[in-house]
Structure 1
């Protein structure tokens, strides 16, 4: 191959109008991808890379001084196993690639890449490829929609199935099942992340042969580790971990996350972020897939993520509105609005079908004193602690913040003895007049027909208990 000289390569790239570079790919003795370098680049390629990747700090070279020839690609880009795999397959396996990638999170533009094989020097273990790319600030839907027929068929079919379901959960389950089958994976799931609430949720999962529950695995994982998924994704539209080398690379970026993968026998991972308004709101998470199908399903899952992102974003918005309308934001228990709705619904059901109901009113008698003496920040802390304690005592029961210093408990899951034991535990533990103290009134009805009457009786008992408390602690009545 007589053209395998620097002058020959420079002549090739200089004849191209698009941004173009020749890239060399070294083959390691074990047949894996080695060092990747820019061999020669034309002026359009250098112009765009100078604007994007020339160092901002230190001594910045002038445009005339800036060169990429002979330099390792990681001098300009973060190390990317997916890019290395494509380069190796092009230079050494003679494959060609065309991709249109969302790189807006990296440098604010969409990138169209074309990689063509140029041949290789087997004696020196060096292969070569020609890379063309163009940048655009706005998505070119025409280019993005040019996809293989089988990919288009899968995405259209999945979207139609998704829209044909009666509810959100069913539509997500259909998609994860189809993705599992198409990728030959062991598991696939859709998870959402809410950084402001410091939480994540598995909203859909599918595991081959129902071998385990993904939720059971993630329930043991703290949010801090799930947060590292964003570090794994970095600024790409998808990461693919296909072998131990990739795993070792990503362990440097997110060691705790990779440790969890290895402890759960995850050998390959495809992670596609759901991006909404330039923020990651969730992920398509696929594990132990058929690595031979990577080039077949990679475009499919990335394209599918566009439709899933819209569905997931809408679901999260509606869930957040529901949360705001039913949850007291300070304490995390249900609010008065939710209590009114639930009481109306339960009261109607009890008229038609009476059943055991236990109710309690818990007045935080110490709140006013704490607010007046220590300030409202301390009062807020007390309210949070009170709600946490009520949640510990009244597990499986509905707890509402029904007033500024008042909580209401409605239970249909405990019998009278169990409920009274909970009340006794509450009285014993929440008995500090200087901090956490409740005046408590409760009422149990094993054949309840009138919920509002039960609530009235419980409230009257609470007021009596409160009166006794202030009679015994007159200094607390301020």
Structure 2
């Protein structure tokens, strides 16, 4: 067959790929044996002049998923299409593979037609089989139509487990600042020999850290047989050993990326390898939407934290304090047994004499003491140097013991000193707050009577 004549009819970038077949059903060398003008021009623009018969990695990034697609296209004699995020290059790849006849027993051929773009094309993403499109649409509806995103993700991951015919599916988030992983959603098939992620989560971040190198720019990792496991042993022996120990035979793993940020991973373990192409097509697009929803969830969670936490001291802020009091007044929450106000003595003096950076350090130290002593309560920064503490269930003696503990710990610091007022057992939150505030100021007046030199400093 004259490949050059065949390719001359293609206006888009196209080439002919050959795959070497072995008797055991595996493949060997994959080469680009011919290319049309658009392909050759593309290679020249990348300073890689095309040479017919070269190993495919001389033209394209080495990728086991690309190799598997070429192998399956030729072996099964069926055209394949994939739309892939080349995140390492900031590009999207739209690729088509079409099998060709071959007059050689151990060499097969296919046409590889491709195009790249810097942005995702919604029409290309929607070019799916009816079954796959229905599965992806179902997932999107659940994610967008639910008020409880965690519950929606749980339902979606269970659906993905059924689609993949897998023993275990999981969405795992990674936190590079804390060096830890958390399970966001998980499905474990009843009767499976596998265990939930809670068994492995401690220290699992070290294993997850090895995945980017194993992916090496690929959109996913697919391990479908012993041959793939042998390759994994060469690439990532640490992960391979953990899979073997857990009883995992097959894996499909996708990174969850959004806006250039790696959020975590989704995988299916011991999946139905007969449907590997449908699984890949489904997960390729589903993970795109999952990552977007997770990113939104994490952003809203972060904004919620920022709206409720005092950024300087990391205790709850005045806005959250007012919301809590409003809920108590409305009868939606019980009145805490212990209500305390704590004022930091001498902050103005420290700000004036040592600067506001020293004053900020003093406030952080004060908040740390209050949080450590009232670990089972809620500490709010009510104002500049004033804190409110609410404790739901506590005895009056315990409240007094903890106030003494606060004074003891603050006495160990250079300049943290508190005036504290306590109200215990009142049924009216507003009245309890007023009494605690009055008692705090009475304590403060006594403090300045004992230390008159500090009164105006």
Q: TM-score, normalised by structure 1?
A: 0.77
Query: Deviation string for 1:335-392 (max 9, x for gaps)?
Result: 1000011012123328xx9665112233344654554455434444444444444433
Query: Deviation string for 1:231-255 (max 9, x for gaps)?
Result: 6666554443444245346639xx7
Query: Deviation string for 1:262-286 (max 9, x for gaps)?
Result: 7755554434445544544554443
In structure 1, what is the equivalent of residue 41 of structure 2? 47
Q: 1:244 aligns with which of 225, 229, 235?
A: 229
Distance 1:307 1:50, change over 3 A: same
Q: 2:116 aligns with which of 122, 131, 135?
A: 135
1:156 aligns with 2:137: yes
Measured on the aligned residues, the alpha-carbon RMSD in Å equals 4.0
CA distance in 2, matches of 1:321, 1:12: 57
1:144 aligns with 2:125: yes
Give the Å deviation of 1:324. Answer: 2.5
1:393 aligns with 2:388: no
In structure 1, what is the equivalent of residue 188 of structure 2? 207
1:295 aligns with 2:277: yes
In structure 2, what is the equivalent of residue 427 of structure 1? 407
Asked if the contact 1:356–1:415 (Cα under 8 Å) also holds between the matched residues in 2, the reply is no
Residue segments in structure 2 that go unaligned for 5+ positions in a row: none
Asked if the contact 2:339–2:388 (Cα under 8 Å) also holds between the matched residues in 1, the reply is yes
Asked if the contact 1:104–1:110 (Cα under 8 Å) also holds between the matched residues in 2, the reply is no
In structure 1, what is the equivalent of residue 50 of structure 2? 67
SS in 1 for 2:52: coil
Equivalent positions of 1:53-452 (< 5 A) are 53-54=46-47, 66-92=49-75, 94-103=77-86, 106-119=89-102, 121-122=104-105, 126-136=107-117, 139-162=120-143, 165-191=146-172, 202-209=183-190, 213-214=196-197, 217-218=200-201, 220-221=203-204, 235-242=217-224, 243-245=228-230, 247-248=232-233, 251=236, 268-281=250-263, 283-349=265-331, 357-365=337-345, 367-368=347-348, 370-445=350-425, 448-452=426-430
CA distance in 2, matches of 1:292, 1:344: 58
Give the Å deviation of 1:295. Answer: 0.9
CA distance in 2, matches of 1:37, 1:386: 68
Distance 1:275 1:107, change over 3 A: closer
Asked if the contact 1:333–1:387 (Cα under 8 Å) also holds between the matched residues in 2, the reply is yes
SS in 2 for 1:106: coil
Asked if the contact 2:362–2:415 (Cα under 8 Å) also holds between the matched residues in 1, the reply is yes
CA distance in 2, matches of 1:287, 1:402: 50
SS in 1 for 2:82: strand
Give the Å deviation of 1:443. Answer: 3.0
Higher alpha-carbon deviation: 299-308 or 138-147: 138-147
Asked if the contact 2:181–2:204 (Cα under 8 Å) also holds between the matched residues in 1, the reply is no
Q: TM-score, normalised by structure 2?
A: 0.80
Distance 1:220 1:227, change over 3 A: closer
SS in 1 for 2:236: helix
CA distance in 2, matches of 1:67, 1:119: 23
Aligned residues: 451
Distance 1:295 1:407, change over 3 A: same
Asked if the contact 1:191–1:283 (Cα under 8 Å) also holds between the matched residues in 2, the reply is yes
Query: Deviation string for 1:287-334 (max 9, x for gaps)?
Result: 443333321211112222344345444434433332232122233321
Query: Deviation string for 1:206-237 (max 9, x for gaps)?
Result: 22239755466446555x87677666666554
Query: Deviation string for 1:88-140 (max 9, x for gaps)?
Result: 32344545422233336624344233242554855xx5544332213345544
Distance 1:95 1:418, change over 3 A: farther
Higher alpha-carbon deviation: 196-205 or 413-422: 196-205
